[in-house]
Amino acid sequence: MAKQKSARLLVIGGAEDPDEDRMEILPYFVEMAGGKQARIVVCSSPSENPEEKVRVYRKLFEKIGVAEVIDAPISSRVEAADPELVAAVERATAVFFTGGDQLRLTALVAGTPFGECVRERLFHDGLVVGGTSAGAAAMSSTMVIGGPSDGTVRRQDVDLAPGLNYWSDAVVDTHFNQRGRVNRSLTIFAHNPQILGIGIDENTAVDVVPGRGFTVVGAGAVTVFDGRVSHTSAPDAADGDVLAVIDSKVHVLPAGYGLDLKTLRPTLPGGAEIAAA
């Protein structure tokens, strides 16, 4: 009986590789997918202009050098049931979700034949799944869909919805330090202490093996919020109340650093775990 392969994700904070001549994130994704033998399905469902978004990423992936790019500008759940698209996922080595609106992605893809094929192959066949901005935010079990980037920590400061759940017990926020989204993450785990908050900067990504660990790639940082707090006032707070969040842990991890998802301890470049103080 063949051994089940580990799922693997590349979760990107948005605005990746602004200079095409100095790309790092997308070539890394291509290597994950098989290098020059990679066959990548580009799903642009999050975008309001999916055809144009597909063309942008087709150009980038072809410039890097892959065997095949398959367009999936899905704009309805009927299209997500297209047998040809499902067959494309069956032969692909990777699927890439573009940016846009994460609610569009889940509304158009979750539970469809296309979406179920991606999930099945991710967790059983070693399909690599990548996503940027909205496409990254949708990968976690709990998905941020809105909320102000200014202000303090209040219940009303964040709106949540179920994500695609490729990465369970986590919530991903993108464009993190560029848009000042610390208060959103603190609000989330004030109400959901079992959830790990992952804030990813632009042109930065995490290479994730769900349930095992991740490594940071790119130019910025990943901010990790360990939500196992000793106290929060969230259960009794009104929407406009400032929340108390006591004994939270925050890690800021640049490229090469990572996190063991079993122990929730950061790791050094090379993989050695950092002991608790």
> What's the confidence (pLDDT) of residue 1?
47
Question: What CATH number does residue 202 fall under?
Answer: 3.40.50.880
Residue 229 has pLDDT above 90, yes or no: no
Residue 182 lies in a domain: yes
Helix (H) or strand (E) holding 162: strand 159-162
Is residue 271 situated within a structural domain? no
| Confidence label for 31 from pLDDT (cuts 50, 70 and 90) | very high
Q: What separation, in Å, do the N-terminal and C-terminal C-alpha atoms of the chain show?
A: 44
pLDDT at 151: 67
Establish whether 175 is a catalytic residue: yes
Asked, for residue 232, whether it belongs to a domain, the answer is: yes
248 an active-site residue? no
Concerning whether 251 is annotated as a catalytic residue, the answer is no
The dihedral of CA 153, 208, 90, 17: what is its sign? positive
Residue 59 covered by a domain:
yes
Calculate the average pLDDT of the chain: 93
Q: What angle, rounded to 10 degrees, do the helices at 83-91 and 113-124 form?
A: 10
Is position 251 within any domain?
Answer: yes
Is 263 part of a structural domain of the chain?
Answer: no
User: Per the domain annotation, does 200 fall within a domain?
Assistant: yes
Give the total number of structural domains in the chain: 1
Cβ distance 183 to 157 under 8 Å? yes
Per-residue model confidence (pLDDT) at position 148: 76
Look up the pTM and report it.
Answer: 0.95
Q: Which of 45, 47, 133, 248 is catalytic?
A: 133
Q: What percent of the chain has pLDDT above 70?
A: 97
pLDDT in tens, 114-165: 999 999 999 999 999 999 999 999 999 999 998 877 667 887 778 899 999 9
Neighbouring residues of 249: CB distance < 8 A, sequence distance ≥ 6: 225, 226, 228
Q: Is the pLDDT of residue 231 over 80?
A: yes
Residue 68 lies in a domain: yes
**Could you list the residue range(s) of the whole structural domain that residue 30 is in?**
8-255
Q: How far is the C-alpha of 42 from the C-alpha of 37, rounded, in Å?
A: 16
Catalytic entry in 16, 44, 185, 202? 202
What mean pLDDT do residues 61-69 have? 97
